[in-house]
Structure 1
Amino acid sequence: MMEKILLSYGDSLLRSSDVALLDPPHWLNDNIIGFIFEFLASNQDPSISQRVAFLSPEVSQFVKCCERDAPDFLQPLDLPSKDLILLPVNDNTGSEAGGTHWSLLAYVRHIPIFLHYDSAPGTNAPHARLMARNLRTLLNGCDSYREEHSPSQHNSYDCGMYVVCVTEALCEQIMGGAGSPSLHKITPQYVTQKRAEWKEIIKRLSRNSEKKCI
């Protein structure tokens, strides 16, 4: 028997087993990260949402694994016009999202540069560099890349939540005109708090969806 869908949101489908991953000590899967990216994309101020691209884990993995096809596949997203592009990076070497570690690759157009934020420094660098290289042609030949200082995880399971928290910080500060983002607030306690907040957001959306169906 197939597990009941807890929430359908845009292109995201979350089941109870997905949402349970927001309780520590669990590692976030691509379904949860994909939903959060989709939620953030649809809840930005319109003046910001048009300037930011949130790529899902599946699309990001395609970028990493399909170099020749990536430019044509991504053409509808109009990425060259975006000021900020955010891609979750995974260490899976296959064509699908998965693996054991998440990090975040951000393209900042006004510099222009690819910035890699890894809560376990160095772990995903080869994967992030490959993704940046595969996007270079599409993004006007940008070949600048930097391993950026990132808050460090203090356990083996919070990497996905650090991706989420850094993503939110980048949107709030870079897109708000504050220049380089301040990531000092992203502490282990903050990350744990964010787990609970995202779980509540999903519960609220699920309740509202059920009311509409009555």
Structure 2
Amino acid sequence: MKDAVVLKFKDVVLRDSNLDILRAPCYLDDRIIRFYFAYLSSSIDTITDVLLVEPFQSLLIAIDKETKNMFLHFDSMKGVNNFHAEKLYNAVKEYMGPGGEVSRPQTSSSSRKKQGNRKKSVTRGAKDTMIAGLPEFRECETPQQTNGYDCGLYVLAIAREICQWCSRGHNKNDMISTIQKNVDYSVEMKMRGEVLKIIEEMTTDS
């Protein structure tokens, strides 16, 4: 049976099988997340502080007055993804300094060896990065999903809240409390329908 193309948007192609995933109670695939990130980037054009990166790279960076120069990890299944988040943090932290510049401090070979040992502990690492001017790792309180397959819906909902928060000019509540206020288990009942509606409207307009 042919898996027909439903929509082409930016560099994302959605097919019937992707819509079937949205209609069923199962994991979202990367293509749906890529589509929604592209939609957010194009529909909220006042964003300057957010970079939405493709799902396989699993990185979302937002800059806030209170959380400036921090690597914020939001996880709707708390504890499950910590190892991978910390691994990513250690891989990119030296390239996430103020102004987007490499924040690697000038060190001798002996002190570089000591820095290598710091990566063994995230707790020690957070203190060390504050000293070095590198971003601090923070595990954020995140609304928790009630099943084992709707994590992708929380990714979309949290990304949307961050984008909308930034587009408002950071004038209201801080970003983390905004997410806690506006994202809850109702995401599991509403988000699939919201994304399907967006796709249907785009298909009608094209």
Quick check: 1:42 aligned with 2:42?
yes
Measure how far apart 1:148 and its partner are.
0.5
Match of 2:138 among 146, 152, 157: 146
**Residue ranges of structure 2 left out of the alignment (5+ in a row):** 98-102, 104-133
Tell me, in whole angstroms, the C-alpha distance in 1 between the residues paired with 2:167 and 2:197: 26
Measure how far apart 1:134 and its partner are.
1.9
Structure-1-length-normalised TM-score: 0.70
Tell me, in whole angstroms, the C-alpha distance in 1 between the residues paired with 2:63 and 2:22: 29
Measure how far apart 1:127 and its partner are.
1.0
- Shift of the 16–2 alpha-carbon distance from structure 1 to 2, 3 Å rule, reads same
Quick check: 1:52 aligned with 2:7?
no
For the residue of structure 2 that corresponds to 1:157, the secondary structure is: coil
Residue 10 of structure 1 aligns with which residue?
Answer: 10
CA displacement, residues 27-73 of structure 1 (integer Å, 9 cap, x when unaligned): 1010000100011001113x32x332111113x16xxxxxxxxxxxx
Q: 4+ runs of 1 displaced by more than 4 Å? A: none
For the residue of structure 2 that corresponds to 1:119, the secondary structure is: coil
Greater alpha carbon shift after TM alignment, 29-38 vs 124-133: 124-133
For the residue of structure 2 that corresponds to 1:121, the secondary structure is: coil
Bigger strand fraction: 1
Residue 31 of structure 1 aligns with which residue?
Answer: 31
State the superposition RMSD in angstroms.
1.9
Match of 2:79 among 119, 122, 129: 122
Aligned identity (percent) is: 29
Which gives a bigger RCO, structure 1 or 2 (Cα 8 Å, sep 6+)? 2
**Contact 1:151–1:184 at 8 Å: present in 2 too?**
no
Residue 93 of structure 1 aligns with which residue?
Answer: none
Number of residues paired by the alignment? 164
Measure how far apart 1:2 and its partner are.
4.8
Larger gyration radius, structure 1 or structure 2: 2
Tell me, in whole angstroms, the C-alpha distance in 1 between the residues paired with 2:82 and 2:62: 15
CA displacement, residues 79-131 of structure 1 (integer Å, 9 cap, x when unaligned): xxxxxxxx2xxxxxxxxxxxxxxxxx534365110111100101111111122
**Residue ranges of structure 1 left out of the alignment (5+ in a row):** 62-86, 88-104, 210-214
Tell me, in whole angstroms, the C-alpha distance in 1 between the residues paired with 2:175 and 2:185: 21
